[in-house]
Amino acid sequence: MSNRLIRIKEVMDRTGLARSTVYKYISLGQFPHPIKLGTRAVAWVEREVEAWICESIERRDDKAL
């Protein structure tokens, strides 16, 4: 994984979450915060989003036990 930045569309594609859900999870402290690129643009660090996905899978697997 890299420090590549990804925009909201790719975050939504990778996680399967709606835009509003991404921002809801951020406000609840349950999703990585974006980096401001400008006054109207933000992006996420790819490896942080991938880590969130992996952690979600681990939580699911732990509950199954």
Domain ranges of the chain: 5-64
pLDDT digits (tens, 9 = 90+) for 18-61: 999 999 999 999 999 999 999 999 999 999 999 999 999 999 98
Structure tokens at 59: 């939580």
What pLDDT is attached to residue 1? 55
Question: Quick check: helix, strand or coil at residue 18?
Answer: coil
pLDDT tens-digit map of 3-21: 999 999 999 999 999 999 9
What global pTM score does this model have?
Answer: 0.89
Higher-pLDDT residue of 37, 2: 37
CA distance 32 to 24: 11
Distance CA 65, CA 44 (A): 32
